[in-house]
Structure 1
Amino acid sequence: MLSKSLQKTALDYRFQIASYVILTFYGYFTIGLSLAVLPIFIHEILGFNTIIAGAVIGSQYIMTFFMRAYAGTIVDKKGPKPAIIVSMICFMLTGILLWAAFYTSASPLLSISLLAASRLLTGCGEGMVGASPVNWAILRVGDQHTSTAISYNGISNYSSMAIGAPLGVILSQHLGNWSIAAFTILVGLIGLISTINKKALYSLSTEVRNSFFSVLKIVSPFGIGLALAGIGFGTISTFITLYYNYKGWENAAICITCFSTMFVLGRFLLTGSINKIGGVKIALYSMIIESVGLLMISFAPSPLLTIIGASITGLGFSMVFPALGVEAVKRASSANKGAALGAYGLFIDISLGVSGPLVGLVAKQFGMNFIFPFSLFLVLLGVMVCFILIRSKAKS
């Protein structure tokens, strides 16, 4: 009877966490809708090169970088609800600008300017929603469930893109690009209504809040490992459609779906391993698996093997964020949890923001065949960072 009671309690906590991180799903679903469509639109319809395409798409993550600090401060002082309300409004405005960009495609400079503005608004929305639902969940269920909350938040994140990316392609092909914009507005509205109807929660800690940059310094060793691991995902999400076009293959969105599906599966199956084995060790094993996936993509002679490589990459990358995130958040006081998660999240924003123009430059200078070997090299540097963290912990 006691065992059943404990199982029921654990299930209740998971449902409570899910009821908050569904807000992450709404936010990232709007991002996923245009993920596989925009690179082709910018490169083939508007006629801009891969560096411009990567820079425009990557600008989202630059804005996210700047908004994370602000969002962390709001979460620690006023709770997560205000931050998420702002994010959903940003996603709705993104949809409006997307519609305008698609409508003005006959004027490439105007269209690309509207797209750039839409990506900045998307970045603002992502920055505000990124760590806010998981903080809301932790406030509801307690710090002891941090790893589960972070993992479930990632499941919402990447499952939304697994669904959103191919759906965006289908909408574009059968209804036109305007439908992606309309769907973005609709989902943002659903997220806004859901957020408004939830009870606000606040941190009751009386501890002194540290400056954001002091918290950033604390979490940075773990964030650097995350940033290097994120290059693999950044390359797949931004360039897989162009890579498929270069190879003469079709259905590139399947790669994003398989990556995201295996990512979600990894989160479901391996979340409990963090507390048993240790966050840094799990991150190390995960990056090695991610490296194997990127190696397969680099030399895959067919779409099928590329899809398998993307799936392995997704499985490997799945546990990096929560594994290193748990270790990072442990080092922050309870009054700085929001800032710690926000500061830690900055590193994935840096990774995804830099990967667009950087990998685009590699593609332009050396060719599309070199983008995944280059990403593999950076992920292997992340493996080395984990080795250093493990050794430094052993010495202390």
Structure 2
Amino acid sequence: MTVSLREVNKKILGYVSLTFLGYFTIGLSLATLPIFIHQILGFNTIIAGLVISVQYIATFLLRGYAGKIVDTKGPKVSVLRSMLFFALSGILLLFVFLFKSQPFISLGLLLITRLFTGIGEGLVGASPINWALLELGDEHAAKAISFNGIASYGALALGAPLGVLMVDHISYESLGLLTCAIGILGYLYSKSKTPFRVIAKKTSTVSFKRVLLTVAPFGTCLALGGLGFGSISTFMTLYYEHFNWQNGAACLTVFGAFFILTRLVFNKVIDQYGGLKVALVSLFVESLGLLVIALALHPLWTLVGAALTGLGFSLVFPALGVEAIKKVDQSQQGSALAAYGLFIDISLGVTGPLIGFVANNVGMTGIYPFSAIMVSIGFAVVGNLLYNQRPKLA
């Protein structure tokens, strides 16, 4: 039976809305935690970066496990567990803020909170994509990956400024309560959806390590591109504070808006031109955006830079992801997407302490020139992959 384009879009949106709920809980505290750690608790930028990065380390460690669950038990199990961890992280976040007068206790609770958030992210990750593909088929992979990215970064772009507004006009504690409520809502919504349990196939077992090595060239480029997003999401509010500018969270919103707009407008270019060509152009635009931020003398120009960075980074994940899953058998797609996703976790996990180190030793003004250089290296690596993919002359 042929499914209409409208029905395909509707079904994919139904699954990636779960991604939206998960990442919205992450976004709520994304712009507020660096300032909370640095200004309220009194710890330096390296500590702030390390604490934020605990989430991505936990996500990194859970990707393989999540991929195995998706390939054996189905994505619904993974998503349900993720929502429980998001709800638990909300409860812990409430206690983090309640103990803010005791910095070391608050910081310790925050480390556990970030760990639970990372577990939730690792479990939800690519699970909705696999859920959609189980129902609709692999021919919709590029669209499912793109829509999932719109959901995740759109959620971050909406959640971050909302979190700042809640802190300014209500309280820090309200973030914990809302995070818990969204986690419970996501759990109930996930439970209502059709499982599409995976039917075991008699195929040769391929280790996660082998799958990881197969997708590593594409994942490495993704990781380098992810540094641009990581530097904006983790340090932009502190960057604005350094220059006494207002509303640093707006950069994340602008980034997210252009990220989403790019995926909506250019949703067919990967199928038309191939993943590597699209990734090459995307990384060039992203590095240009970071350079604009680095040279900005007024907050308006940082918004322009954030827009270019969002426009550039938007198609990096799906472009390279489509190339990555072509390299594995259909029965290993869950593991392949999980392995590929590891590289963005590595990127975001390293970004916190690495950029914190740059800020602490070079100064805040060194953050975005450094990020632009790292993304440019990713551009060069993709160029090399594209060059090696060319048909050889006889």
Q: When the two structures are superposed, what TM-score results if normalisation uses the length of structure 2?
A: 0.98
In structure 1, C-alpha distance between the alignment counterparts of 2:157 and 2:247, rounded to whole Å: 14
Q: Please report how far the alpha carbon of residue 208 of structure 1 lies from its aligned counterpart in structure 2 after TM superposition.
A: 2.7
Question: Corresponding residue for 2:268?
Answer: 272
1:290 aligns with 2:286: yes
Gaps of 5+ in 2: none
Give the SS at the match of 2:278: helix
In structure 2, C-alpha distance between the alignment counterparts of 1:29 and 1:163, rounded to whole Å: 7
Gaps of 5+ in 1: none
1:146 aligns with 2:129: no
Question: Corresponding residue for 1:185?
Answer: 180
Question: Corresponding residue for 2:12?
Answer: 17
| Pairs within 5 Å for 1:223-262 | 223-262=219-258
Task: Map Cα deviations across residues 194-247 of structure 1 (whole Å, 9 max, x no partner).
Answer: 111111113344433311011001100000000000000000000000000001
Count of residue correspondences: 391
Give the SS at the match of 2:5: helix
CA contact (8 A) 1:228 1:381 kept: yes
1:105 aligns with 2:104: no
2:343 to 341, 347, 350: 347
| Pairs within 5 Å for 1:320-339 | 320-339=316-335
In structure 1, C-alpha distance between the alignment counterparts of 2:75 and 2:161, rounded to whole Å: 30
Task: Map Cα deviations across residues 159-202 of structure 1 (whole Å, 9 max, x no partner).
Answer: 11111001001111111001111110011111000111111113
In structure 1, C-alpha distance between the alignment counterparts of 2:255 and 2:205, rounded to whole Å: 38
CA contact (8 A) 1:76 1:335 kept: yes
Question: Corresponding residue for 1:50?
Answer: 45
Give the SS at the match of 2:306: helix
Question: Corresponding residue for 2:123?
Answer: 128
Opposite residue 213 of structure 1, the aligned amino acid is K
Give the SS at the match of 1:309: helix
CA contact (8 A) 1:231 1:379 kept: yes
In structure 2, C-alpha distance between the alignment counterparts of 1:371 and 1:395, rounded to whole Å: 39
Q: Please report how far the alpha carbon of residue 59 of structure 1 lies from its aligned counterpart in structure 2 after TM superposition.
A: 0.9
In structure 2, C-alpha distance between the alignment counterparts of 1:225 and 1:286, rounded to whole Å: 11
Give the SS at the match of 1:34: helix
1:380 to 354, 376, 383: 376
In structure 1, C-alpha distance between the alignment counterparts of 2:190 and 2:319, rounded to whole Å: 28
In structure 1, C-alpha distance between the alignment counterparts of 2:246 and 2:205, rounded to whole Å: 51
In structure 2, C-alpha distance between the alignment counterparts of 1:332 and 1:202, rounded to whole Å: 21
CA contact (8 A) 1:32 1:168 kept: yes
Question: Corresponding residue for 2:214?
Answer: 218
Q: Please report how far the alpha carbon of residue 69 of structure 1 lies from its aligned counterpart in structure 2 after TM superposition.
A: 0.3
Opposite residue 96 of structure 2, the aligned amino acid is A
Question: Corresponding residue for 1:157?
Answer: 152
Question: Corresponding residue for 2:308?
Answer: 312
Question: Corresponding residue for 2:361?
Answer: 365
Give the SS at the match of 2:30: coil
CA contact (8 A) 1:208 1:335 kept: no
1:74 aligns with 2:69: yes
In structure 2, C-alpha distance between the alignment counterparts of 1:60 and 1:42, rounded to whole Å: 15
Task: Map Cα deviations across residues 267-316 of structure 1 (whole Å, 9 max, x no partner).
Answer: 11112110110001100000001011001000101111101100110010
Give the SS at the match of 2:165: helix
Q: Please report how far the alpha carbon of residue 51 of structure 1 lies from its aligned counterpart in structure 2 after TM superposition.
A: 0.2
In structure 1, C-alpha distance between the alignment counterparts of 2:355 and 2:94, rounded to whole Å: 28
In structure 2, C-alpha distance between the alignment counterparts of 1:154 and 1:33, rounded to whole Å: 17
In structure 1, C-alpha distance between the alignment counterparts of 2:261 and 2:196, rounded to whole Å: 30
In structure 1, C-alpha distance between the alignment counterparts of 2:70 and 2:203, rounded to whole Å: 15
Q: Please report how far the alpha carbon of residue 395 of structure 1 lies from its aligned counterpart in structure 2 after TM superposition.
A: 4.7
In structure 2, C-alpha distance between the alignment counterparts of 1:251 and 1:273, rounded to whole Å: 34
In structure 2, C-alpha distance between the alignment counterparts of 1:194 and 1:107, rounded to whole Å: 37
C-alpha RMSD of the superposition: 1.2
In structure 2, C-alpha distance between the alignment counterparts of 1:166 and 1:198, rounded to whole Å: 30
2:189 to 181, 188, 194: 194
